[in-house]
Structure 1
């Protein structure tokens, strides 16, 4: 998405919130958010927060900057002061902290990661032991590390063959491998569009299900920004939680505004985005409980199994978990949302 489109969306948010346009220039606190991927329905909580004026109601002028393969890394953007909030993954975050960056995690949008492995009925990968000896199509180092950590955590030999692949599962269907690293919210939809039935023609197991736990959509800031702007971060988090709830109420609308407005620069497919939106809700509110603490951080999970997973990848110098997370931002945001 182009920057000017986002700024225009913030101005429209003033009208949606019934606030005077003069507020835009005079009283809104600017806040730049660097996404980890392109402006698709994955970030629909932000689109509803812009569309419905939740940010402007909170006194925020939020600019959302898309990520993607050709975009700057959010970790680099926050470190350089080019964004206040970034979205990243667990292991890259730990690596950035190990290099001396004073970052703090304030929220986790997805409570379990949708990254995992797709396999076909002829050679299903349903348990960690099924990876051993297999040829796995994988996109890069992050996926390779996930497989190696899964094997290590389960006491299995690192015996598998990696074949570099892109973001389409077609090579798996063509027989180029026996597994394919993928997202439950993306490539499984491609398989469905091929006419294949999940749990019959193909199978998906997340790395979380295979014993390598983690969050996805981790929001982080610099410690200095957190200390100076805590109230703004609470209001931002409350606004995107409201946005998620609005999406739960009307996921079809969430997909529509993504495709037609906020992700219009990316040529998104409405049917695909609608299905992705349906699938991702379960990762953000596991089990569907109304009182589930959306976007919350669990220190025990992070210092326990998530640190165990990090150690399994060779990351042994890990800071006390209290030094790199702040659970109070979400806790206070939930009171407002």
Structure 2
């Protein structure tokens, strides 16, 4: 559960840590990615002028290494080979929420970092569908510096920090563990400085990047994912409106096939993904290569699960969602959950793989 770094009691400036958080990734805790006819983001649209079906993808955070599989797929020509002209739309703290971009028709496919939010939306009648997932275990979790904190029970009465979506996830973890919602909350966004400076006792963050930011400053950091605390979730799920999927079935399969190859190649060569994020797609962000490489290697570990070992990257398991995922959500107090068969559509993955378990070596 714990992930220690080098020991230090250094106090870090808010500006310094916020900048390093952006360099490492600093992903928001919610969002999607997309295929559509619109999108005006400039960097990364290498095939925008090429012939082919234009696919706009909206990300839940800035154009950093979190999306390395897409960058590699674009750079290696996999989308062009499939007759897809990708258009990448970056996210970030000042960007509109991804589901709003999808609803407005400015993107067709989205990457939902917070799949719990998509599940809740579907339960309320929204027609969003998940059809693949990069992260088999959500990297969202708690991070803290106090070695006396051993479990979620030790967070009772503490001051916790996070972004605007964090309280719902904190409440879910407390509920599933039979803990009353006894904590103070401070909204800090993606900035881990308040933890380093003692303003909060723990933060809800991406354990693949904010933890690395703190460790790079010489701090000993302890962390646990939502899964470790009883609320298992996928993350960076590819989502779209059902109406969009029905109208663009063939194009979505081709987009997904290229995306699979990009993710497979990034697993083989994580340095390539980090370099592309630093020097090409996120060049305007002044990203730190070493930080991006650390982030990439950590996230690749979460791309793998029992189902991906058997069927290939980006696969999802409906039984896992209907079982452990929904059990954790129900224990957290949600009684109305969507039909898994309506929430998740694996037909696109089935067609993209066409009976194979890998596409690069096929």
Q: Identify whether the pair has TM-score above 0.5, normalized to the shorter chain.
A: yes
Distance 1:288 1:219, change over 3 A: closer
Structure 1 residue corresponding to 2:95, chosen from 53, 71, 76: 71
C-alpha distance after superposition, 1:189-213 (max 9, x if no partner): 11221113xxxx3211111111111
Are the equivalent residues in 1 in contact too, given 2:43–2:282 (CA < 8 A)?
Answer: no
Distance 1:296 1:169, change over 3 A: same
Where do 1:319-330 residues align within 5 Å?
A: 319-330=338-349
- 1: CA distance between counterparts of 2:310 and 2:250? 23
Q: Are 2:54 and 1:43 equivalent residues in the alignment? A: no
Are the equivalent residues in 2 in contact too, given 1:75–1:96 (CA < 8 A)?
Answer: no
Where do 1:176-325 residues align within 5 Å?
A: 176-196=199-219, 201-286=220-305, 291=310, 293-312=312-331, 314-325=333-344
Where do 1:148-167 residues align within 5 Å?
A: 148-167=171-190
Structure 1 residue corresponding to 2:155, chosen from 127, 131, 134: 131
Aligned residues: 317
Normalised by the length of structure 2, the TM-score is 0.81
The residue that corresponds to 1:107 in the other structure is 132
C-alpha distance after superposition, 1:249-293 (max 9, x if no partner): 221121111111111122211111111011110111248985463
Normalised by the length of structure 1, the TM-score is 0.87
Gaps of 5+ in 1: 12-20
Aligned with 1:3: secondary structure?
A: coil
Structure 2 residue corresponding to 1:83, chosen from 107, 111, 114: 107
Are the equivalent residues in 1 in contact too, given 2:308–2:315 (CA < 8 A)?
Answer: no
Q: Are 2:48 and 1:29 equivalent residues in the alignment? A: no
Distance 1:67 1:312, change over 3 A: farther
Q: Are 2:142 and 1:117 equivalent residues in the alignment? A: yes
Moved over 6 A (4+): none
- 1: CA distance between counterparts of 2:190 and 2:244? 35
The residue that corresponds to 2:43 in the other structure is 5
Aligned with 1:284: secondary structure?
A: coil
